[in-house]
Amino acid sequence: MLSFNKCRRGFSLIELLVVISIIGVLSAVLMMNFVGTRERSRDAQKIQNLNSLKNALRLYYNDAQEYPDTKSIIIGSGFTGYMRNVGDTSFNYTLLNNGDGFRLTIGLEVGAGTDDEESQVRCGIAPTSPSVYAVCSN
Alpha-carbon distance of 68 to 101, in angstroms, equals 10
Domain boundaries, the chain: 13-136
The answer, yes or no, to whether residue 8 has pLDDT greater than 80, is no
Alpha-carbon distance of 47 to 94, in angstroms, equals 17
Q: pTM value?
A: 0.71
Average pLDDT estimate for 62-71: 87
Q: Count how many residues are written for the chain.
A: 138
Average pLDDT estimate for 13-31: 92
Q: Write the CB contacts of 14 (distance below 8 Å, at least 6 apart in sequence).
A: none
Residue 68: pLDDT band by 50, 70, 90 thresholds?
confident
Residue 25: pLDDT band by 50, 70, 90 thresholds?
very high
